[in-house]
Amino acid sequence: YSQRICKSVFGLRFDSLKVDDFNQKHVLITGCDSGFGNLLAKQLDRRGFAVIAACLTEKGASDLASAASPRLKTLLLNVTDSESIKRAVEFVSAEVGERGLWGLVNNAGRSIPVGPTEWIQVEDVTKVLDVNLIGVIDVTLRFLPLLRKARGRVVNVASILGRFSLGGGGYCLSKWGVEAFSDSLRRDMYYFGIKVGIIEPGLFKTALTRVDLIEDDQKRLWDHLPQDVKDSYGANYFHNCEWKINFSMGILCSSDLSKVTNCMQHALTARYPRTRYAAGWDAKLLWIPLSYLPSFIQDFFHRLIFPVKSVD
């Protein structure tokens, strides 16, 4: 018992040790128009970091710049566009100089199209993979030389859905891919002093979990199904899917985004950052423990928590 207490005390002590000179460290964050990226940019800016916030839209960049200190820089970045990434590398290189890039936070993402697997087309999957996985890989590889200069940090935003698949579409596939890419990158970059952290949020209220957008997209998928496929699911199936979405988002979604951004901040500022960060009560107490159980138990809980009536 005393040994466990000592381990806990020393673990907390090491966990609280921070790196020095925040004001001399540059951090690039993708997906800063809203949500986690927007909040993290403001959070790190207040801590004194030289934040470079990448936004998809002019409005997102303008709104963020007006809410932060003059130290924070914004740039436009589409992670699916190689030319856009190239311009971002040139901008960041000029900002960081020989000091290099301390932190890269791959936060940009999208969730839709998402729905029952049979409703999804290949192009629907590709749209999500291009942002959530290929974009993460492309951005990371382009910025590795700058990260190596600073012996910096890569923080990749995965998801509990990278541990436990809950639906069809590209989202779960992409987040499982982010987990695998991050593990490979961490092991390959160890000898260069680059640390890689994985953020695994549960369900949070962001643009990615907006019920109206998800429902509209599922309606689009349903409307494009052949009539014989609709008949095989039954008339009530689509409405039950809508009920499932409202139920899960209403019960499980948290509005406290700082639970995620605090994990990101720790991954960037801790002297001994963790490999993985579970954010949110549902991630810690439900989804991640569930991911270690046998598949038949996972399937049972999936049906229990997200009940959808039998097809007609």
Cross-strand pairs, 114 = 169
Helices of type H across 48-169:
58-66, 82-96, 122-129, 135-150
SS3 readout for 185-252: HHHHHHHHCCEEEEEEECCECCHHHCHHHHHHHHHHHHHCCCHHHHHHHCCCHHHHHHHHHHHHHHHH
Cα separations in angstroms, 36 against 47, 80, 132, 252: 16, 19, 15, 17
Find all residues with CB under 8 Å of 297, minimum gap 6, and list them: 290
Structure-block tokens of residue 180 = 């695998």
Phi, psi of 255, deg, nearest 5: -95, -5
Considering the candidates 1, 171, 237, 292, report the single residue annotated as catalytic: 171
Active site residue 237: no
Separation CA 5–CA 243 (nearest Å): 46
Phi, psi of 251, deg, nearest 5: -85, -40
Q: Which of 23, 173, 58, 61 is nearest to 113 (CA)?
A: 173
Q: Which of 29, 125, 10 is nearest to 77 (CA)?
A: 29
**What single DSSP character describes residue 18?**
B
Structure-block tokens of residue 123 = 């192009």
| CB-neighbour burial class of residue 117 (10 A; exposed 0-12, middle 13-18, buried 19+) | exposed
Structure-block tokens of residue 20 = 């020095």
Cite the active site residues.
171
